[in-house]
């Protein structure tokens, strides 16, 4: 066994031991003897025999790393080894799921299931059993409780702080995603359109489309101004000006979520200056990350930086303070600064205060902000400021009280560039932060 393999196994073993101890404490606090976690299963398209794409339930993946297993169950009962019922039917139409191996096989009792349905009830002896997952409440075993809110809140909170195994998975996912972004940039430079850039990204990251953690956003020119642009033009535009790629990778169930924006040789010089400005203050925001920092405050700081850039480039003729106060910066960037990242791209517990699930809603002026917590060591966040020319958001200002405060001729020139977003994935450490996207957290193994 290589030292890298041994190191990876040591991290995974420690991860599972941490989960065993944490689940035992959480179940005791919540008054449950055991929890049965369902991985989920794909739906079928209406009036068809083809399944929709599928991703396993996050709390199941937290233990197993198996992000595409259907019809699996995991029984966690303190005092006994975790028991993994993996669906492996006798089937000649599809390749059955192989038995888990390595550390998972060493630290769990494995049992194949030949049919869909519940695990054998004789093996579940809990007096009070919780069942979590996407299930029908009417089909619960007698006495079992489906998705108890208090238990889910505590398990969500457990996923907020990542251990060394999870951190390494996120780092590896970032390295693959960065390779994809470089391939996308090269394809754009060679004149490729959106679909071919997408295919170049998938080839470089060695993924099929159903394996990416979210649908890749590949937007050329004005398409970059649609925040979750969901289509790929087959042909490149006559004059390519800009490219925005928001795309990731998943490793052992953990997601990278990276965005890059590039200007072509045909881009307006003002767009290039704005791009430089967003890159600069994105790095300044990352430099501020540390335990004890309010993410809401950092989000507001993003708007101050954005306002200063708009004023400096003469797009806006107000003071930076006035541009924020009148809502103009939110027309240029309507989304939040970032979110929690882990097994889910927009990971759980970002808007709850504690393990009781106490709500922590976003400010009224920023309803799209997905992370409202004070940062703590082990949390992983995205930092993704943006600057977009979105006509429907700017139109009220064009005809409102601030109509003379904006250089509308420059806005019209920039409209075909769409917008800018720069996004890195950062883990909060005890003494600051570590940018997983910049390659500063290389871990052997």
pLDDT, one tens digit for every residue, the chain (445 residues): 566 776 999 999 999 999 999 999 999 999 999 999 999 999 999 999 999 999 999 999 999 999 999 999 999 999 999 999 999 999 999 988 889 999 999 999 999 999 998 998 877 888 999 999 999 988 888 789 999 999 999 999 999 999 999 999 999 999 999 999 999 999 999 999 999 999 999 999 999 999 999 999 999 999 999 999 999 999 999 999 999 999 999 999 999 999 999 999 999 999 999 999 999 999 999 999 999 999 999 999 999 999 999 999 999 999 999 999 999 999 999 999 999 999 999 999 999 998 899 999 999 999 999 999 999 999 999 999 999 999 999 999 999 998 999 999 999 999 999 999 999 999 999 999 999 998 533 333 3
Q: CA 439 to CA 435: how far, in whole Å?
A: 7
What integer pLDDT is reported at residue 97 of this predicted model?
A: 83
Q: CA 419 to CA 421: how far, in whole Å?
A: 7
What integer pLDDT is reported at residue 372 of this predicted model?
A: 98
What integer pLDDT is reported at residue 444 of this predicted model?
A: 32
Q: CA 309 to CA 442: how far, in whole Å?
A: 33
Apex 226 CA angle, 223 and 230, nearest 5? 80
Phi-psi region of 146 (alpha: psi -120 to 50; beta: other; left: phi over 0): beta
What integer pLDDT is reported at residue 1 of this predicted model?
A: 56
What integer pLDDT is reported at residue 258 of this predicted model?
A: 98
Does the CA dihedral 312-314-320-324 come out positive or negative?
negative
With a CB cutoff of 8 Å and minimum separation 6, the contacts of 32 are 126, 128, 129, 130, 145, 148, 151
Asked if 209 contacts 250 with a C-beta cutoff of 8 angstroms, the reply is no
Strand bridging mode 380-383 / 424-429: antiparallel
Strand bridging mode 254-263 / 424-429: unpaired
Reported as type and span, the H/E element at residue 293 is none
Asked if 244 contacts 52 with a C-beta cutoff of 8 angstroms, the reply is no
What integer pLDDT is reported at residue 255 of this predicted model?
A: 98
Considering only CA atoms, which of 153, 158, 422 is closest in space to residue 274? Answer: 422
Confidence (pTM): 0.95
Q: CA 333 to CA 218: how far, in whole Å?
A: 19
CA 337 to chain CA centroid, nearest Å: 13
Which own/partner contact pairs does 132-141 have at CB distance under 8 Å and 24+ positions apart? 132/35, 132/36, 132/37, 132/38, 132/57, 132/59, 133/37, 133/38, 133/39, 133/40, 133/57, 133/59, 133/60, 134/38, 134/40, 134/57, 135/38
């Amino acid at each position: 066994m290589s030292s890298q393999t041994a190191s990876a196994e040591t991290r995974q073993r420690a991860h599972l031991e941490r989960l065993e101890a944490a689940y035992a404490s959480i179940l005791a606090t919540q008054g449950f003897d055991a929890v049965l976690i369902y991985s989920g299963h794909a739906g079928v398209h209406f009036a068809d025999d083809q399944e929709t794409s599928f991703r396993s339930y996050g709390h199941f993946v937290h233990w197993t790393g198996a992000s595409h297993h259907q019809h699996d169950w995991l029984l966690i009962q303190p005092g006994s080894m975790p028991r993994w019922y993996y669906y492996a039917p006798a089937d000649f139409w599809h390749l059955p799921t192989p038995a888990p191996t390595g550390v998972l096989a060493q630290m769990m009792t494995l049992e194949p299931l030949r049919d869909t349905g519940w695990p054998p009830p004789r093996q579940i002896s809990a007096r009070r059993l919780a069942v979590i997952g996407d299930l029908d409440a009417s089909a619960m075993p007698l006495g079992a409780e489906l998705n108890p809110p208090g238990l889910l809140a505590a398990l969500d909170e457990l996923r907020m702080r990542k251990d060394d195994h999870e951190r390494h998975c996120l780092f590896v996912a970032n390295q693959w995603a960065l390779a994809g972004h470089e391939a996308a940039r090269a394809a754009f430079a060679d004149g490729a359109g959106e679909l071919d850039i997408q295919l170049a990204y998938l080839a470089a990251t060695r993924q099929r489309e159903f394996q990416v953690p979210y649908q890749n956003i590949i937007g050329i020119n004005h398409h970059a101004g649609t925040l979750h642009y969901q289509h790929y033009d087959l042909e490149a535009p006559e004059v390519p000006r800009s490219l925005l790629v928001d795309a990731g990778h998943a490793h052992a169930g953990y997601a990278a979520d990276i965005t890059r924006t590039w200007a072509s040789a045909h881009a307006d010089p003002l767009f290039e200056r704005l791009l430089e400005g967003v890159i600069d203050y994105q790095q300044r925001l990352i430099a501020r990350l540390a335990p004890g920092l309010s993410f809401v405050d950092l989000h507001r700081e993003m708007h101050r930086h954005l306002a200063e850039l708009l004023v400096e480039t003469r797009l806006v003729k107000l003071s930076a303070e006035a541009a924020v106060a009148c809502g103009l910066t939110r027309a240029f960037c309507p989304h939040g600064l970032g979110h929690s990242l882990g097994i889910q791209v927009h990971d759980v517990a970002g808007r709850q205060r504690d393990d009781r699930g106490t709500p922590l809603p976003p400010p009224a002026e920023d309803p799209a902000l997905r992370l409202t917590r004070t940062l703590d060591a082990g949390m992983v966040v995205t930092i993704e400021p943006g600057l977009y020319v979105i006509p429907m958001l700017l139109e009220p200002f064009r005809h409102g009280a601030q109509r003379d405060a904006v250089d509308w001729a420059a806005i019209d020139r920039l409209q075909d560039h769409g917008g800018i977003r720069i996004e890195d994935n950062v883990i909060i450490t005890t003494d600051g932060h570590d940018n997983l996207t910049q390659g500063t957290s290389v871990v052997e193994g």
